[in-house]
């Protein structure tokens, strides 16, 4: 079944029924999730293709955040979905009209070129290298990076020649292998490359052969070094065009690439030892949990809007999840971190005022939580806030503070946002405020929200 599913592709209509991350809709990329940036967060497995369109254009800023800048040209050349086109339709990749046929299905088992392409993409996805390099490699394989050859095709320029040597048409393979600078770099790495067919193989078999290699070069896996060199050559080519003063000297590209490959290789080993697995994502269900008796739990949060308006809020609940009190504060202004810290401080004061002696504090700002726990704080801009927090904590019999994912901090998030709509100052409520009733009940019955986390 897998091989059939691999050859189904969504043809976008409105993009409403196609999952951005896990459905095959971008030609040549089975799952965009394979290329996600590590710092991307919540609920993203649910996102649809249409969620990345704004005003009929791709939301390139967001795409750059979740996938990296390298993807911007790919999206620029991909048609956006439109509601007017109608439904999204599943098509069969192996026939011209997209309709399924037995004959074409049988060809799956007969066609070496399709299989070797699938094999190449699989090698890229499994490459033991940072995500950025895997993405780069995929872009090379699909020849979508903006070489002068591609720019001519897209009417972006009329001159398709190579900036470095001025000779040939600047194709993908020219930049990363055949140009004089590239050739010199490869030969500096290993002069024996001249003897085989390294410089004569077409792009895709060349990539496949090198990414499949098991050989080690001075302690570094060849596929990793290979990709680092290609990437260094591409980056240098861009520097030469856009910022020639800072371009790496021709004869040191191979040093730079080797050092990078060595560093990545070490980092990968360390990660592999500490975590056994890297670059894998799983979906975890995140939910709010009541504290153990006799603790009370404070969830706090801050919110800073564009333009600098700031607000914070928080909620206290007991070990049965029962509501005790909540607060929302309109702070007018503040940084993200000071706002988060103020939320914690005001929540602590509220807890002390109601006679709490055992408190668990949860905030979704890792920075704020770390500051509260950090030993050396004297020189930090938030020193007075952090010391005030510690002072209040010292009045409790027992306390603990930890970072919580925002999926389990929704009540505090709602209260912080609510603060923007209130007059300046702190507003304390001893009844369940309507702005959090839904989130509160969701927490009470233990509703979990999915979150993609790396393992």
Q: Return all residues near 17 (Cβ < 8 A) that are at least 6 apart.
A: 48, 87, 88
Binding Zn ion (rule: CB under 5 A), the pick from 152, 165, 352, 367 is 165
Q: Which pair of tokens denotes residue 337?
A: 């971190």
Closer to Zn ion by CB, 164 or 382: give it.
164
231 binds Zn ion (CB under 5 A): no
Q: How far is the CB of 183 from Zn ion (least distance, A)?
A: 9
Query: Which span (32-40, 151-159, 161-169, 434-442) binds Zn ion, by CB under 5 A?
Result: 161-169
253 binds Zn ion (CB under 5 A): no
DSSP H or E stretch at residue 221: strand 220-221
247 binds Zn ion (CB under 5 A): no
Q: How far is the CB of 202 from Zn ion (least distance, A)?
A: 18
Closer to Zn ion by CB, 160 or 450: give it.
160
Q: Which pair of tokens denotes residue 90?
A: 């599943």
Q: How far is the CB of 254 from Zn ion (least distance, A)?
A: 17
Spatial separation of the C-alpha atoms in residues 351 and 412, rounded to whole Å: 15
Binding Zn ion (rule: CB under 5 A), the pick from 7, 164, 185, 337 is 164
Q: Return all residues near 35 (Cβ < 8 A) that are at least 6 apart.
A: 29, 67, 68, 71, 131, 134, 135, 138
204 binds Zn ion (CB under 5 A): no
342 binds Zn ion (CB under 5 A): no
Query: Which span (6-14, 88-96, 172-180, 257-265) binds Zn ion, by CB under 5 A?
Result: 172-180
Residue with tokens 């720019």: 151
Q: Which pair of tokens denotes residue 372?
A: 């509260």
Spatial separation of the C-alpha atoms in residues 440 and 268, rounded to whole Å: 42
**How many residues line the site for Zn ion (CB under 5 A)?**
4
162 binds Zn ion (CB under 5 A): yes
Spatial separation of the C-alpha atoms in residues 294 and 292, rounded to whole Å: 6
300 binds Zn ion (CB under 5 A): no
Q: How far is the CB of 248 from Zn ion (least distance, A)?
A: 16
Q: How far is the CB of 162 from Zn ion (least distance, A)?
A: 3
Instruction: Tell which positions 177-196 bind Zn ion, by CB under 5 A.
Output: 179
Q: Are strands 216-217 and 296-304 parallel, antiparallel or unpaired?
A: unpaired
18 binds Zn ion (CB under 5 A): no
SS3 226: helix
Closer to Zn ion by CB, 176 or 369: give it.
176
DSSP H or E stretch at residue 262: helix 253-275
Residue with tokens 């202004």: 333
Closer to Zn ion by CB, 165 or 336: give it.
165
Please name the residue ranges forming H helices in 354-452: 366-373, 383-394, 410-419, 437-444
**Residue 125 CA neighbour count, 13 Å, CB half:** 16
String of contacts with Zn ion for each residue 207-226, x by CB under 5 A: --------------------
Please measure the distance between the N-terminal and C-terminal CA atoms of the chain and give it in whole angstroms: 28
361 binds Zn ion (CB under 5 A): no
Burial class, 430, CB count within 10 angstroms (exposed 0-12 / middle 13-18 / buried 19+): exposed
148 binds Zn ion (CB under 5 A): no
Closer to Zn ion by CB, 162 or 311: give it.
162
Q: How far is the CB of 216 from Zn ion (least distance, A)?
A: 30
Spatial separation of the C-alpha atoms in residues 12 and 26, rounded to whole Å: 9
Q: How far is the CB of 447 from Zn ion (least distance, A)?
A: 59
CA 447 to chain centre: 26
233 binds Zn ion (CB under 5 A): no
Q: How far is the CB of 147 from Zn ion (least distance, A)?
A: 10
Closer to Zn ion by CB, 59 or 143: give it.
143
Residue ranges binding Zn ion (CB under 5 A): 162, 164-165, 179
């Amino acid at each position: 079944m897998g091989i059939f599913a691999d050859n189904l592709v969504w043809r976008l209509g409105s993009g409403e029924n196609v999952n951005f991350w896990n459905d095959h809709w971008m030609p040549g990329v089975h799952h965009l999730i394979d290329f996600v940036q590590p710092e991307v967060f919540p609920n993203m497995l649910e996102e649809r293709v249409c969620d990345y369109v704004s005003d009929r254009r791709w939301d390139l800023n967001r795409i750059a955040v979740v996938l990296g800048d390298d993807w911007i040209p790919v999206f620029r050349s991909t048609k956006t979905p439109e509601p007017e086109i109608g439904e999204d339709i599943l098509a069969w990749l192996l026939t011209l009209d997209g309709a399924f046929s037995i004959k074409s299905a049988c060809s799956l088992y007969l066609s070496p070129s399709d299989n070797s392409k699938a094999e190449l993409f699989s090698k890229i996805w499994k490459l033991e290298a940072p995500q950025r390099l895997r993405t780069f490699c995929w872009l090379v394989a699909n020849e979508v990076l903006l070489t002068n050859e591609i720019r001519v095709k897209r009417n972006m320029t009329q001159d398709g020649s190579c900036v470095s040597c001025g000779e040939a048409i600047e194709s993908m393979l020219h930049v990363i292998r055949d140009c004089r600078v590239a050739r010199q770099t490869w030969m500096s790495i290993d002069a024996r490359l001249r003897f085989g067919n390294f410089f004569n193989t077409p792009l895709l078999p060349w990539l496949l052969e090198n990414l499949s290699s098991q050989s080690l070069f001075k302690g570094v896996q060849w596929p990793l070094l290979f990709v680092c060199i290609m990437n260094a050559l591409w980056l240098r080519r861009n520097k030469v065009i856009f910022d020639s003063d800072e371009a790496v000297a021709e004869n040191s590209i191979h040093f730079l690439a080797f050092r990078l490959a060595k560093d990545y290789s070490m980092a990968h080993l360390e990660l592999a030892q500490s975590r056994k697995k890297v670059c894998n994502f799983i979906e975890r269900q995140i939910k709010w949990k009541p504290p153990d008796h006799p603790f009370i739990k404070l969830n706090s949060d801050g919110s800073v809007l564009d333009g600098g308006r700031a607000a914070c809020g928080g909620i206290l609940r007991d070990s049965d999840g029962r509501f005790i009190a909540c607060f929302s504060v309109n702070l007018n202004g503040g940084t993200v971190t000071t706002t988060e810290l103020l939320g914690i401080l005001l929540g602590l004061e509220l807890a002390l005022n109601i006679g709490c002696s055992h408190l668990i504090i949860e905030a979704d700002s890792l920075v704020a939580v770390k500051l509260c726990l950090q030993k050396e704080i004297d020189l930090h801009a938030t020193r007075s806030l952090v010391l005030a927090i510690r002072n209040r904590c010292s009045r409790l019999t027992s306390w603990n503070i930890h970072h919580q994912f925002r999926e389990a901090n929704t009540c505090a998030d709602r209260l912080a946002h609510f603060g923007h709509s209130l007059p300046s100052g702190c507003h304390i409520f001893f009844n369940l405020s309507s702005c959090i009733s839904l989130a509160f009940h969701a927490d009470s019955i233990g509703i979990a929200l999915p979150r993609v986390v790396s393992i």
